[in-house]
């Protein structure tokens, strides 16, 4: 185990986590700060495996769903805690056209391509190194995605830095460059339960979103292209409200997705690229909240609709439907095929650069 401790009692530690089925060593990085927050990240998939945060009474719990061993992550993970890419979320009919050339991807979600295809960034072992400075600690992860991998053009050099801040933020800085035109959409796919993983459904969690519009989808969860107002629908979280009523609504969009699994259009003035507060989830019993700060145009709100009791989580409890929520910052789904959505094209000479912060607290 290598440990380093810096000012204000923040530390970054690494230790072996396991070996993949094809023989690659995987390391675990443990980040801690002075307030008792501890985040664990493994180099396989850049997966966040555990986030321990105090509740209102100072009682710590792991609020991040995951497994307690590498084999489960390799064989059955529904994208727990991972870096999703090269294109997070869905691309319709597993194909897109760029500069007049058609690219074919793996159809791994019905007719569509989901989260980068069969072997996305969530299943790669990333190169890692510890990061320290300004009273903060982190881990820098790097992955070189070769030209043609999963059907995507261009060698993509990807860097993702996870930093635990002194004010209880888990900041994620993504950068990527390419040597040929391609499409990029990166996110983290952490599943959260503010009561603690395995502690039951998230129905009583209260959500606030800074979104006047969302992107309605068809039956296969591909956006229709419309930016629809949330007003008068279960998608209106502009005033905080519990997830339960909407999650069980008979609204056609909720029925299509078996609950919330939709991209929201974050409110943002034209040209504003700042990192700003986009969402806040609060659990009134324990008092924990999770804020999402981002510079991205969209936020996928997913309520664990596909968890079905077949996975046993880190602490030995099964995960059932709606036992977690995910707030995935990103560009809109299927942007490569939707000319009216903000572009996800990256060209040589440009740098893809985005930041998201998950900020933990109690109220």
Neighbouring residues of 94: CB distance < 8 A, sequence distance ≥ 6: 104, 105, 106, 107, 108, 111, 112, 113
From the list 247, 220, 216, the residue with the least C-alpha distance to 230 is 216
Cβ atoms 259, 322 nearer than 8 A:
yes
Q: Which is closer to ligand GLA, CB of 29 or CB of 192? A: 192
From the list 311, 312, 309, 290, the residue with the least C-alpha distance to 301 is 290
Q: Which is closer to ligand GLA, CB of 33 or CB of 294? A: 294
From the list 305, 192, 307, the residue with the least C-alpha distance to 256 is 305
What single DSSP character describes residue 8? G
Neighbouring residues of 103: CB distance < 8 A, sequence distance ≥ 6: 95, 96, 97, 151, 152, 153
Annotation marks residue 350 as catalytic: no
Q: Which is closer to ligand GLA, CB of 10 or CB of 314? A: 314
Residue with tokens 């659990």: 283
Neighbouring residues of 46: CB distance < 8 A, sequence distance ≥ 6: 82, 83, 121, 122, 126, 141, 160, 162, 188
Q: Which is closer to ligand GLA, CB of 89 or CB of 215? A: 89
CB of 108 to ligand GLA, least distance (A): 10
Q: Which is closer to ligand GLA, CB of 89 or CB of 193? A: 89
Nearest residue to ligand GLA by CB is 302
Among the listed residues 28, 262, 328, 331, the single catalytic one is: 328
Cα three-residue angle 55-58-59, rounded to 5 degrees = 70
CB of 82 to ligand GLA, least distance (A): 10
Q: Compute the distance between CA of residue 39 and CA of residue 61 in angstroms, rounded to an integer.
A: 11
CB of 23 to ligand GLA, least distance (A): 27
**Interior/surface letters 49-87, b for 16+ CB within 10 angstroms, e for the rest:** bbbbbbbeeeeebbbbbbbeebebbbeebbbbbbbbbbb
CB of 242 to ligand GLA, least distance (A): 20
How buried is residue 359: exposed, middle or buried, by Cβ count under 10 Å (0-12/13-18/19+)? middle
User: What are the φ and ψ backbone dihedral angles of 245, each rounded to 5 degrees?
Assistant: -60, -45
Q: Which is closer to ligand GLA, CB of 61 or CB of 307? A: 307
CB of 191 to ligand GLA, least distance (A): 9
Q: Which residues bind ligand GLA (CB under 6 A)?
A: 78-79, 89, 114, 221, 261, 300, 302, 306, 326
Q: Which is closer to ligand GLA, CB of 56 or CB of 76? A: 76
Among the listed residues 115, 189, 205, 262, the single catalytic one is: 189
CB of 253 to ligand GLA, least distance (A): 13
Annotation marks residue 262 as catalytic: no
CB of 39 to ligand GLA, least distance (A): 21
- Active site members: 189, 328
């Amino acid at each position: 185990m290598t440990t380093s401790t810096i000012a204000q009692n923040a530390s970054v530690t690494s230790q072996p986590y396991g070996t993949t089925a094809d023989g690659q060593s995987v390391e675990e990085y443990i980040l801690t700060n002075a307030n008792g927050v501890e985040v664990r990240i493994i180099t396989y998939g850049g997966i966040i495996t555990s986030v321990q945060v105090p509740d209102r009474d100072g009682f710590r719990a792991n609020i991040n769903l995951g497994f307690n061993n590498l084999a489960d992550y390799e064989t059955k993970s529904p994208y727990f805690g991972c870096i999703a890419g090269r294109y997070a979320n869905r691309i319709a009919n597993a194909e897109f056209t760029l500069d007049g050339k058609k690219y074919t991807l793996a159809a791994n979600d019905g007719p569509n391509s989901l989260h980068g295809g069969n072997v996305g960034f969530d299943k790669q072992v990333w190169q890692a190194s510890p990061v320290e400075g300004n009273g903060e600690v982190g881990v820098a992860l790097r992955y070189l995605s070769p030209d043609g991998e999963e059907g995507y053009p261009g060698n993509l050099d990807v860097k993702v830095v996870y930093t635990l801040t002194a004010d209880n933020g888990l900041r994620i800085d993504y950068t990527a460059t390419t040597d040929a035109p391609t499409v990029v959409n990166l996110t983290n796919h952490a599943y959260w339960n503010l009561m603690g993983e395995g502690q039951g459904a998230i129905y009583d969690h209260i959500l606030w979103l800074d979104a006047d519009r969302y992107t309605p989808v068809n039956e296969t969860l591909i956006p229709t292209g419309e930016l629809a107002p949330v007003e008068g629908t279960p998608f209106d979280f502009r005033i905080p409200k519990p997830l339960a009523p909407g999650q069980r609504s008979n609204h056609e969009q909720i029925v299509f997705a078996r609950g919330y699994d939709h991209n929201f259009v974050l409110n943002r003035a034209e040209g504003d690229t700042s990192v700003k507060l986009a969402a806040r989830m609060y659990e009134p019993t324990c008092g924990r909240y999770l804020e999402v700060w981002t510079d991205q145009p969209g936020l996928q709100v997913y309520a664990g609709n596909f968890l079905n009791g077949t996975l046993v989580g880190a602490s030995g409890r099964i995960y059932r439907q709606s036992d977690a929520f995910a707030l995935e910052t990103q560009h809109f789904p299927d942007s490569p095929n939707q000319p009216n959505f903000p572009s996800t094209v990256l060209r040589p000479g440009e740098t893809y650069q985005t930041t998201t912060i998950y900020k933990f607290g109690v109220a």
